[in-house]
């Protein structure tokens, strides 16, 4: 147990003690000076500041401060947190955490000692990024919380996660919930060259996610069903987003014909959509930039997920129950389908109904009033 030495220096009282710090991966003893108070009427002698010194040293004596906790947030992220995330999480998730650390956490809190991180510091980080969208700020908070949780699990920190007390606020932006209509899809298919034509057809008539389309192999297609078994992100091929996503999707007859023609042209690769190197999946963002946007125009392109929402919208318009649409889209629960996919059709129908009501009201208001004929028996 340390009590430290109380020293008067530069008109102030200090407590001097030793602690461990990590240097090149090894704990090293270092001397620490901590200012307790100014020399004044309330703090004239050592006994006047002894309680302040004991309060400061209490976390160290209780073991709440470790040598590992003396490293900076930046060093902990690079040497411990990000390597663990790379091993345990999907590559896309690991990349997201790495971007959050490099772009947001390190510039604000990188030089702060890990053990010194308080809720105030996390709030300072989030406030510094408040000009970004609320979703982005929430992701930054989540990343900081994951970093501190990892430090606690590994014994680098003791106590509660400082990120939990912070509040994430940013600019509220409306999400892009565009859904391609069936007319828009058919318009594209008439104009797009191969393989963009087939990729758009699969996206439109199966509702697969971009990563699931890239992960399709010919062995997943039996002529009637596309079995979704994997997802491809950049150069990584992994499991699907959720266990519910790993399922089969029916293939309608027009799409079967399109896939048959595509296989005759490109059946040499195991991937349904292969890149320039046949053993790798096609990069759909590159395909969009090279072949889709130049044909349909940037203003008509709303992303790959708009095909997925479009299928849900069309199914809903045909009277398909939400539970059936959920099965086709392979959502974990029907609430996701209803909240983020089927509501688009309801909004459109609502606007259409109001326009019909407007036409009826205008017709009645604009119609000239008919003059009533006098009753034949009245003078």
Give the contacts of 127 (CB within 8 A, at least 6 positions apart).
Answer: 169
What's the pLDDT score for residue 250?
A: 81
Residue ranges per structural domain of the chain = 5-65, 73-165, 182-329
Fold adopted by 73-165: DNA polymerase; domain 1 (1.10.150)
Distance, in Å, from the CA atom of 323 to the CA atom of 315, rounded to the nearest integer, reads 11
The percent of the chain in helix, strand and coil, each rounded to the nearest 5, is 55, 15, 30
Taking the chain, what is the end-to-end CA distance rounded to the nearest angstrom?
Answer: 117
Which residues lie across from 16 on neighbouring strands? 5, 33
What's the pLDDT score for residue 252?
A: 81
Contact 295, 189 (CB under 8 A): no
Q: What DSSP state is assigned to residue 77?
A: I
Burial (CB count <10 Å: 0-12, 13-18, 19+), residue 326: buried
Contact 214, 232 (CB under 8 A): yes
What's the pLDDT score for residue 342?
A: 46
In this structure, CATH architecture of domain 182-329 = Orthogonal Bundle (1.10)
Residues of the chain with pLDDT under 70: 1, 20-28, 59-70, 172-176, 240-245, 267, 277-278, 317-379
Could you tell me what percent of the chain has a pLDDT over 90? 32
What's the pLDDT score for residue 82?
A: 93
What's the pLDDT score for residue 371?
A: 53
What's the pLDDT score for residue 346?
A: 44
User: Could you read off the pLDDT of 337-368 as tens digits, one per residue?
Assistant: 444 444 444 445 434 434 444 455 456 545 55
């Amino acid at each position: 147990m340390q009590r430290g030495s109380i020293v008067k220096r530069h008109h102030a009282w200090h407590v001097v003690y030793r602690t461990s710090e990590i240097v090149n991966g090894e704990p090293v003893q270092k001397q620490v000076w901590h200012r307790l108070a100014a020399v004044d009427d309330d703090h004239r002698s050592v006994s006047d500041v002894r309680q302040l010194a004991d309060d400061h040293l209490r976390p160290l004596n209780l073991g709440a401060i470790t040598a590992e906790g003396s490293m900076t947030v930046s060093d902990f992220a690079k040497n411990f947190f990000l390597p663990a995330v790379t091993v345990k999480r999907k590559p896309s998730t690991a990349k997201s955490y790495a971007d959050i650390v490099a772009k947001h956490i390190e510039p604000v809190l990188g030089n702060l000692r890990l053990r010194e991180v308080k809720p105030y510091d996390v709030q300072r980080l989030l406030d510094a990024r408040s000009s970004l969208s609320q979703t982005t700020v929430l992701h930054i908070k989540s990343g900081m919380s994951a970093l501190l949780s990892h430090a606690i699990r590994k014994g680098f920190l003791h106590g509660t996660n400082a990120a939990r007390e912070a509040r994430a606020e940013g600019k509220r932006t409306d999400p892009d919930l565009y859904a391609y209509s069936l007319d828009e899809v058919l318009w594209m298919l008439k104009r797009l060259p191969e393989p963009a034509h087939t990729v758009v057809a699969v996206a439109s008539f199966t509702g697969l996610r971009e990563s699931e389309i890239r992960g399709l192999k010919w062995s997943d297609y039996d002529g009637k069903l596309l079995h979704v078994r994997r997802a491809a992100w950049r150069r990584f091929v992994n499991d699907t987003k959720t266990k519910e996503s790993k399922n089969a999707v029916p293939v309608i007859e027009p799409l079967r014909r399109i896939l048959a023609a595509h296989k005759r042209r490109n059946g040499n690769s195991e991937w349904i959509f292969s890149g320039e190197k046949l053993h790798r999946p096609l990069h759909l963002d590159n395909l969009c930039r090279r072949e889709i946007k130049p044909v349909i125009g940037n203003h008509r392109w709303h992303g790959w997920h708009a095909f997925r929402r479009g299928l849900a919208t069309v199914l809903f318009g045909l009277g398909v129950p939400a539970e059936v649409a959920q099965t086709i889209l392979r959502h974990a629960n029907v609430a996701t389908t209803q909240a983020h996919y089927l509501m688009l059709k309801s909004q459109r129908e609502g606007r259409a109904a109001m326009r019909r009501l407007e036409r009826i009201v205008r017709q009645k208001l604009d119609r000239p009033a008919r003059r009533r004929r006098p009753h034949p028996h009245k003078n």
